[in-house]
Structure 1
Amino acid sequence: MLDQTDMDILKELSKNSRLTMKALGEKVHLTGQAVANRVLKLEEDGVIEAYTISIDWRTQKTIQTFMQLYTRSLHHEPLLSFLHQKEEIKNLFKISGEGCYMAEGHFSSHDELDQFLTELTNYANYKLSIAVKRLIHQ
C-alpha cells in the first residue's frame, strides 16, 4: 500500500525523472538515502516500471492520431503482429466498450498516414481521430 510520501515521490518523478535523490528528498522532506530506499522499494514492487521521457510531438512536425480498432475475426494475432511491427504506433490498449483496441500513432505526413491506414484495412476496421491540441499533460 502506498502512503502519502510514496505518492509525493511518484508525483515528483513523473514531473522530472532525472532528479537526484538528494533533490527528490528535499522535495518530499526526506534525506537522499531515505528517498533512495523508497524509490528502490517502489521499483522492486513494480510500482515504478520505467523511467522515460515525454516528447512534444509538435516539435517533430508529426500528426498524432488515435485509432479505435474493430477486428473482423476472432483471431487478433495478425493485427497485433502488424501493429507491433509499426514504429509509428506508440501505444496500444485493449479496450472495453465499442471497439477492441485503441492505438496511438504518430505520422510524419498525411501520405504516411494514408499508407498505414491502407495496410491496416487488411486486418481491421477503424475510426480515426487526429489530435489538435494537448490540454492536459501529467
Structure 2
Amino acid sequence: MLDDLDRRIVEILVDDARISLKELASRVNLSSPSASERLRRLEERGVIRAFTVDIDPAALGYTLQAIVRIKPLPGRLHAVQKLIEEIPEFTECDKVTGDDCFVARLLIRSISDLDQILDKITDKAETSSAIVKAQPVKRRLPPFS
C-alpha cells in the first residue's frame, strides 16, 4: 500500500516524469534526500517501473487506431504471437481468455495500412477489427486504495 506522501509523489511524476528532484521535494514538503529515498523505495518495490515519454501518435502521422481481436488457427498460436511482436504498428497486445487469444491496439496511417498489416496474419488467424473513434478513458493509474 502507498501512504499519502507516496501517492502524491507518484501523481506528480505521472504528470511530469522529468521534474527535478529538488522541485519534487519542494512540492511534497520534503528535503531532497528524503524525496530521493522515497523515490528509490518506490522503484525497489516495483511501484514505479519506468520514467517515460508520452508521444502523440497523430504527430507522427498515425491518425487512426484499430482494436484487433485475433483468434489463431489451430496450432498457430506461437506463430501469430511472434508476428504481433514483430509488427511495430501493434503498440499493445493482451493475451486473453474467451473466443479470441489476443486483443491488440494497432496504430495506422490509413485503412489500406490496416489491410496490409492484417494480410500478414490472416493465413494464420481469424481477425476482427474496429476503428477507434475516441478514447474517453486514456491509460490511467489504478486507484491507490
TM-score class normalised by the smaller sequence: 0.7 to 0.9
Structure 2 length-normalised TM? 0.84
Farther-moved stretch of structure 1 (93-102 vs 116-125): 93-102
CA separation of 1:77 and 1:32: change in aligned 2, threshold 3 A: same
- Percent of residue pairs identical: 26
Q: CA deviation at 1:42?
A: 1.3
Gaps of 5+ in 1: none
Structure 1 length-normalised TM? 0.88
Partner of 1:105: 106
8 Å Cα contact 2:43-2:49 kept in structure 1: yes
Counting only pairs closer than 5 Å after superposition, residues 1-138 of structure 1 correspond to structure 2 as: 1-62=1-62, 63-73=64-74, 75-137=76-138, 138=140
Structure 1 residue matching 2:120: 3-state secondary structure = helix
Structure 2 residue matching 1:120: 3-state secondary structure = coil
Which amino acid is the alignment partner of residue 10 of structure 2? L
8 Å Cα contact 2:76-2:124 kept in structure 1: no
Partner of 2:143: none
CA separation of 1:107 and 1:22: change in aligned 2, threshold 3 A: same
For residues 118-138 of structure 1, give each alpha carbon's deviation from its aligned partner in whole angstroms, at most 9, with x where no partner exists: 111122212212122233334
* Greater than 3 Å deviation, 4+ residue runs: none
Q: CA deviation at 1:19?
A: 0.6
Q: CA deviation at 1:74?
A: 5.1
CA separation of 1:74 and 1:31: change in aligned 2, threshold 3 A: farther
Farther-moved stretch of structure 1 (15-24 vs 91-100): 91-100
**Following the alignment from structure 1 to structure 2, what is the Cα–Cα distance between the partners of residues 108 and 46?**
35
Structure 2 residue matching 1:96: 3-state secondary structure = coil
Which amino acid is the alignment partner of residue 128 of structure 1? S
